[in-house]
Amino acid sequence: MTIPVMKQSVCFAFKKGTGEKMNKVELMGRLTKSPESKYVGGSGDTLMAKYTLAVDRKYRGSNSNDTDFINCVVYGKGAEFAMKWLKKGMKIVVCGRIQTGSYVGKDNRKVYTTDIVVDEHYFAEGKTSSSDRKPEEKNEAEAKTDKEGFMEVPEDAELPFE
């Protein structure tokens, strides 16, 4: 069994002529740190994971670029996936929607927030490309992948999906 790495857009779909308004976001970037989680909801039974995605932004006609740091939040099974599989430095793709909000800070000033509520996330590179691994771990991982970057997974291995 092989695990594919995302190579093209997987979550953006638009039906022409439907007249529906759309709030859809698709971003690719690297995690600035491993996700953090907590239980939320009225009874505290829904897992929520938060992470920040560093996304490069290039200027048209220029070789320079900036980086945007985008706050992402995911709930339920997606949060479980994030906590188990996502780590600092990993390149991922997230699909979701923009959500704005506000709260009153400690200094009694209103603070406005903008988050991406993640519906789906995908690995955007092979395991051997993660930047936070030690050199000996990289060599071991490279030995287990084929020339296209896919790795063999034993049939009895626990996978994050079915």
How do the pLDDT tens digits run along the chain, 162 residues long?
344 444 445 555 555 665 567 889 999 999 999 999 999 988 878 999 999 999 998 877 777 788 999 999 999 999 999 999 999 999 999 999 999 999 999 999 999 999 999 999 999 987 665 554 454 444 444 445 665 666 666 666 666 555
Topology (CATH) of 25-125: OB fold (Dihydrolipoamide Acetyltransferase, E2P) (2.40.50)
- For the chain, what are the domain ranges? 25-125
pTM of the model: 0.67
Tokens of 112: 């406005």
Beta-carbon contacts of residue 40 (< 8 Å; ≥ 6 apart)? 46, 47, 48, 75
* Phi, psi values for residue 139, rounded to 5°: -65, -40
Reported residue count of the chain is 162
Are 14 and 22 contacting, i.e. CB atoms less than 8 angstroms apart? yes
Cα distances (Å, whole numbers) of residue 31 to 3, 36, 152: 21, 12, 25
